[in-house]
Amino acid sequence: MPRLNRIVETALYVDDLECSGAFYQGKLGLVPLLTTRTLLAYDVGGSSVLLLFQRGASLQTQNSAGGSIPPHDGSGPLHIAFAIDKEELPAWEAKLDALGIAVEGRMQWEHGSTSLYVRDPDGHLLELATPGLWKTY
């Protein structure tokens, strides 16, 4: 059986693309790869891409010279986890505090990982996790 190698993209659907862009780029420091009127794409650590779609803007098939992308969308608060270095955990805590971003939860995992939980402007739950969370991380 062929295998899946990794997740390349993760998508979140947002109500205000400009506000969300200011959060992810301005506060979390993500680097934009693509900006359109309905989509922001960000590099995450040089190994994955975070897509922010304007909610409702991708409900129709999108056609181009290269082919087509089927309709998709989402609603409600979703969850994603970002990998951070263990030694940068205190710096992340200080940065979040300085930016007025409340840490809603903190978890010490049995294999030594620590996770911090915060919300983005659309209420999505973002996890900042140090190594050891999973067998693969």
d(CA 67, CA 113): 42
Domain ranges in the chain are 1-73, 76-137
pTM of the model: 0.93
Per-residue pLDDT at 5 exceeds 90: no
d(CA 117, CA 125): 7
pLDDT tens-place string over residues 53-80: 999 999 999 898 999 999 999 999 999 9
Domain 76-137 CATH (choose: 1.20.1260.10, 3.10.180.10, 3.40.50.720, 2.40.100.10) = 3.10.180.10
CATH number of 1-73: 3.30.720.120
Residues annotated as part of the active site: 127
Can you give 33-74 as a three-state secondary structure string? EEECCCEEEEEECCCEEEEEEECCCCCCCEEECCEEECCCCC
